[in-house]
Amino acid sequence: MDLYYDEVNTPIGPLLVVSDGEHILRIDYGSMEEREVDLQNWAKRYIGQVTLVKNAERVSEVQRQLQAYFSHERNEFSIPFRFHGTPFQKKVWNALYELIPFGKTVSYKEIATAIGQPKAVRAVGGAVNKNPFSVIVPCHRVVGANGKMVGYNGGLDKKEYLLNHESIIL
């Protein structure tokens, strides 16, 4: 199976966008050169053997929407995407996407409560850390119970940039 990809240059570095031709499957921090081994391992687990084909046209809508976001012309995304992960991870990622509006933050505890598992705060943190859709599924808007920035898969500098970009001051 072919997976299509391209890199989008952003103020926080390159974002690697991967599609199956119909749905966006991943948006990761970094370039293909940096991420290829991880991407192949992920694909083997969830899809099977894949061939990675650079094709900007297959991910052009995501590129357009990301550029509009970073230019302050858009604060929501409308792209067809598909989650590949455990049922628990998918539940957390859906909650991130559906429950955290632009310019707001929530705590890990609030996400755990929203998915009906208020004691699963640490597991929620683990799922948030594995979010396959950087920026678009807003894991950068999840903060600690005290309202402070805590870990971020892309690095706290990127999280801080995104929160400032959305005018969220912590």
The per-residue pLDDT for 21 is 94
What pLDDT is recorded for position 149?
84
The full set of domain ranges for the chain reads 2-71, 87-166
Closest by CA position to 93, among listed 62, 124, 47, 59:
124
**Hey, which residues does 6 pair with through a beta bridge?**
17
CATH class of the domain at 2-71:
alpha beta
Per-residue confidence (pLDDT) for residue 153, from 0 to 100: 85
How do the pLDDT tens digits run along the chain, 170 residues long? 999 999 999 999 999 999 999 999 999 999 999 999 999 999 999 999 999 999 999 999 999 999 999 999 999 999 999 999 999 999 999 999 999 999 899 999 999 999 999 999 999 999 999 999 999 999 999 999 888 888 888 899 999 999 999 987 55
Q: Which pLDDT tens digit goes with each residue over 55-101? A: 999 999 999 999 999 999 999 999 999 999 999 999 999 999 999 99
SS3 107: strand
Alpha helix stretches (DSSP H) within the chain: 32-46, 60-70, 87-99, 108-114, 121-129, 156-165
Catalytic residues: 139
Contacts of 38 (CB under 8 A, 6+ apart): 28
pLDDT at residue 41, as a whole number: 96
Residue in this structure with the two tokens 């083997």, named with its chain if needed: 44
3-state secondary structure 70-86: HCCCCCCCCCCECCCCC
Q: Please state the separation of Cα 138 from the chain's center in Å.
A: 6
pLDDT of residue 169: 58
Q: Which CATH architecture has domain 87-166?
A: Orthogonal Bundle (1.10)
